[in-house]
Structure 1
């Protein structure tokens, strides 16, 4: 059938081409005015447009120029007004067979003078060129150059002229393609032309006389390049497609696209698509290239990729057309069209009885769908034989095998053989007519020597609380599953939180060992649990549970839990308070309670508004603030109860909180209580002892310091007739008057500072600060790179990179100790460095300098004396004068 269709198509194509060969479609030539109004008819019913002499008849006309349109009868007219000199366009004629034919229309302008009067050419107002636009075929064959057309101007009648051309194809790319005989006006082409590169050429021709003057307007020349079928079709776009397997026939897979470089809308670009293989699986539309599934049996498991070869041929698939062939790839995606299949028809396995949470067996399956997808992954279930929930199925994610697990142990004596049915499914539904598959599995249960079994596994007993010890409340026996009897089985208690029950070892009797109390915290919802172990001769054990449901008796009386109550009174208003009682028994041994005032009631109180578990205690008359004891008799429904004392504190209301009065704050003595008062007394005693300890520490005297007698002075200040001690003695000597405060070289407010004195060989400074009722002397000495600063009272070393610690507000004793330490250090230093730079500080005896020395004293202190007066030292009194004589020394500068 397919071969017949191909033969008919080839025959039709041959007929069409023969008809086309017999048709001679020439251009439509028309002379029109230069100015064409809208609706101007160019031609009517030309035989060129009606395909006269051709086998086919025209059915549609299309103009490639938007300024012109064509009616269904072949009449050409203008769409809008325009002005032309020459005009060329094409009309595309479609015949009844679907073929397209192109007819060129060439318009030329009539002479305006002839249009008005119909006179001869010598009456023309304007000169014009001839001939009309023309065409050439691409890829023409040699030899070249080839003459194309002769151009001429009417001005050649009156002038000796020559012609010149310029523009595209002449002096612009492609240069030199067209040449012109300047004398004759013959236009020639020098080589083949490619229409796909240059579909037309536009240039101009000019005419000049012998003097080089242009004798006519330039002529625009258009050379249209006629197409030849010189390009084969080419594939473009996507060439990989995807479709699901088992898709319906007619499912669109995709569209194959192709193109042709030849002139559009001509037979040269009329492409036909043809499948070269896989014609049983796919089909393709010959003219749109849409690829569809031809069957619904596409199977990915048989072939997941299909390589389809397609031929594309122009000329509508005619044998003379050019063609190309290419391959497209159709990927078939997976669907779940294959169920998991079992490798065996029957599976067998074995398990020991009483085993739990063990892997019994592995069940392998096969699935042809894509691996590791939901279409391939298997889900297993036990569809028969698992009514008691003994088994569980899982899937091994790596092997896709089914794993059968035992959840609850089996009993060999009851079921020695278990028959199961295993069903395998996928994670997604199955597509197609296939069904899920199942397989039978026989599971053999192995026998074991089992321990005794209690029957029932949980024994329920009802017992009244407070039953007498030794009472037998029941018997709990176990049976050996092997011989079905209870002989030689012994019983032992495993758990009994309150040790309330004893188990008779040989008989399994349960006897009361201690008081059974329903109100015990060991009892939950009136039930008490114990567990019992049974042991046979082979030391196999079994376990059972006994749940004792305890029945209530009236063994508890109601009590008032809060016996210390606070009653808030408001002026003269009688106050009341709610009294509540509780009973650990259950009805009818508890509520409703009976409330009565005790026999010792003093008549100040009364009861009202009694409920099941509470009563309101109210003042019978106004009473002062204080604490009152109120006897209240509380009995349960059975009349079981006793009298209880309630302590009520009556106080004045300070404020209300949510409608309840709040008492004011009590005094310290009443609110703290005995323990609070004792704590306050102990705290006071502790503070007193701490104060005494601090006083004792602060008043303790310091240890006396040892003063060396190496100097021979015995520690006393001696008046010396020598000239003066050395400079170092002067600078280090201290004069402290109690009352002066100095901290880190600074004074308190109200201080006055004197000037420093500087000499050439070193810096010596002495400052006096007055304030706070005393005088403070500071001395700064600088020898070379060493600088010493002394002020107030010092302790520790001064010389040899040592640091002296400063104290303020020193007493007389501290001053003596400080000076003693200072002198000891300095004398020891002089003993080591007597030839050093401080040798001038040694005590020396000077001779008489003589009388009448014009220079006066050479000591530097004389200069100080001139600048600063020390007369204020005379006012210090006799006790301070020896000390002042030592502290005030004469500064001297040595060479």
Structure 2
């Protein structure tokens, strides 16, 4: 260390000289003695041994790990040192005057190095280990590489030089002493024989020499599967059975070609490669891809074939490339399927029957003979009956033993054109076994209905009609439906052939014209004529009828429009639709009700009845100009007669006296109407409409 001669003022440094006496300090780790471990000694050449110098130690671990004797400079370790925790300490030392505490030397730094000893064994930090290697691997196949770590100083001695060895797992596996690579050391290890192995590996330091420390770890090695085993059925012959009533898709049974391999290497595909049941049964693989499921492909029949034989093959779906040279792994077995007899219902010889029968067939006519038999080997007797819900009116009867279907009522095509009958067949020995079949009977048309005039049987002739004038076109209807269509023939009935008034012309199109033979018609001479018309059809046997056409004589205008007819009931012309007639009658009814209300309202009895010129009547059937009848029409305006002519007089007799002036006033108002229009006949009275004041009246 440096030495300085100081004057009284200590201001001048006269001489500098390093005067420390010490060597570099080294100390072994892991000292376990009872006394503090001596590290070394600090000494200054200025120290005369008189105790005037005091040594000071600072830096890493000073006072806690290291101490110094301030008089002698001896350094000791007072704690256990571990190189793996801290390999060196940097300390600083200084010499001071004990009395003045003035530094005699500049502070100096030194290092205490901890020397390594072999106090740490090798460790496998990631153990225990799991490893997998394919079965049948070749010798030398790498399984896993292990690495052991040693906390000792690798740069000092052999404390950290590790050597690997196998303690357990021979002769199946070995380990490389330097690299720690574990390899297969036995050929043809079979997973199916042994799948799991436990291997213990040791790592020893000091290069494996005696006295070195060692650590061990365990490796659990599993042999992974490869497809090295073919499948094999556990039976050479399978016996199965199923009832003949089993529906398509029913499971017959299950087979299994066992494979010592696992996973995808054991997955199977099954197929029927031969046998007389190839078209009747099918086979598929279950969701686990291990079992074969045999199912029904077509309906079974014990009586037709009581048993089947199937040749089934099971083959692996995956093949290991290393064993591809062996070809596909597969096996074959035989499956014998027995069909169990089941008591089945009778079977008809046809799925349905169709019959055509003329409607004039006599009662007791045989319609059809149905036939059913018991399909079972017992061949039980079958009895027949009709399901009455299909023949509620009991047109037919079936003979219980023969199955002959007969009529028991007359048929009418116009009433019922089709009969759909359900026939039941039942086994005598087992009434629960019932079958049914449908018999469709079409009733054929026979010309058994005569034609007749359709629509209106009334017509009119105008008083001014001339000879040869068309007064009506008639048509006929016939409920029969001949194949070639209807064809009607018209003529006057024999008693009217020489009729001087009218004649008939057949138009050969299923219509006929009624023509006048003369002119000069008058209601005063005769108001009604009756013309019998003979109609026949063209089918065999020919049907005919006579219909009477009523012809009324009417007063018409120059255009041929009816103005008035006789007082008897008159049918509206065909040109007026039924809807229009209903509308007219509804209006009449409403007007009658309004008139009754008007009569019942006393507050209005003094008001005059005025004609409403704005009202318009659209259904003017017959028009004629005629002045009101005056007092002669008073009796015609009988409100009670509108509803019930038989009680007209009685009703008027009971009418309130205070209403008579109103009625008389209404009658007088009506008599002033200038013209009337004939509407219709109701309850024996003619209904007219005043075209001026729009009031309806009867007469």
Q: What TM-score range do you get, normalising by the shorter chain? A: 0.3 to 0.5
Larger RCO (CA under 8 A, 6+ residues apart): 2
Query: Taking structure 2 as the reference length, what is the TM-score of the superposition?
Result: 0.46
